[in-house]
Amino acid sequence: MLSIMKQYEQRADTSFAHAIDVGHLTRQTMGDRSLEREVLELFRRQSRILMFRLEALTAPKDRAGVAHTLKGSARGVGASRVAFAAEELERAAQHGEPTGKALAELAESVAEVTSAIELRFGLDS
């Protein structure tokens, strides 16, 4: 049983380190593990809400604004892939370009990060 738990913990740590820049997050939270958890839980909830908004919006200007918000939040916690994808969506929306591919990439990166956060802290989806 201990071996299974150890494997689970290693999987959670690997998944998390792939999705979040742990060094950046540690600097942002000053090494406070409870603050880290709180910040990540807030990011997890906010990113899901913002993704629902993005999927419901059709006006490029509106999508750009929501993507900008998500980009800033992602940078704050060290979710670089999410920040990059949000920045690309923001750029495409501002230039009147199609946003479908950028939105799909953003959705995938948000799913990866939220899954890693849930796995690390044992949260329900």
Higher pLDDT, 73 or 123: 73
pTM of the model: 0.87
Angle at 63 between CA 57 and CA 37, to 5 degrees: 100
What is the pLDDT averaged over residues 32-42?
94
How does DSSP assign 46-115, residue by residue? Answer: HHHHHHHHHHH---HHHHHHHHHHHHHHHHHHT-HHHHHHHHHHHHHHHTT---HHHHHHHHHHHHHHHH
Burial label for 124, CB within 10 Å (0-12, 13-18, 19+), is exposed
Q: How confident is the model at residue 64 (pLDDT cuts 50, 70, 90)?
A: very high
pLDDT at residue 1 is higher than 70: no
pLDDT tens-digit map of 87-110: 999 999 999 999 999 999 999 999
Q: What is the pLDDT of residue 3?
A: 74
pLDDT at residue 15 is higher than 90: no
pLDDT at residue 79 is higher than 70: yes
